[in-house]
Amino acid sequence: MAGKRILCVDDDKGILKFMERMLVRRGYDVLVAQNGLEALEILKKENMDLIILDIRMPRMDGYQLLDEIRYTDQASVPVIMLTARDKDEDVVKGYREGADYYVTKPFSTETIINIIEYLIGDLSPEEREHLEQNL
């Protein structure tokens, strides 16, 4: 995972710290932003391999941020929405806006890591197929 860069966007500092520690321990380079506008500023300067974002944030929510991302030069970067919003219409909207995965809080660390590995990991075809079957 050396060199793989992940941007985590959440207004909850506790979630950001947890995600950063968890991902750094697994060898990822992690940048954090507390709202969508901060995230867009980072994306103007830094290339990411993956973005993890919350929906409810001040100044720009996750749906708006995802829409903005899809019109940047990083439009093809995989996005995981990580949120407490678990209603069917929220999930559908997340995927419709362009999320690659939609995960609700509370979440399993293993689930997040498996999704990240599936999306950007250096996996063999067999490993990728195994993960896909277990997501």
Q: Go through the domains of the chain in sequence order and give each one's CATH number.
A: 5-134 (3.40.50.2300)
User: What's the rounded Cα separation, in Å, for the pair 8 and 32?
Assistant: 5
Q: Which helix (H) or strand (E) covers residue 129, if one does?
A: helix 125-134
User: What's the rounded Cα separation, in Å, for the pair 40 and 75?
Assistant: 12
> What's the whole-model pTM score?
0.92
Query: Tens digits of per-residue pLDDT, 15-55?
Result: 999 999 999 999 999 999 999 999 999 999 999 999 999 99
Residue 134's pLDDT is 75
Q: Is 79 exposed, middle or buried (0-12, 13-18, 19+ CB in 10 A)?
A: buried
Query: Tens digits of per-residue pLDDT, 114-128?
Result: 999 999 988 888 888
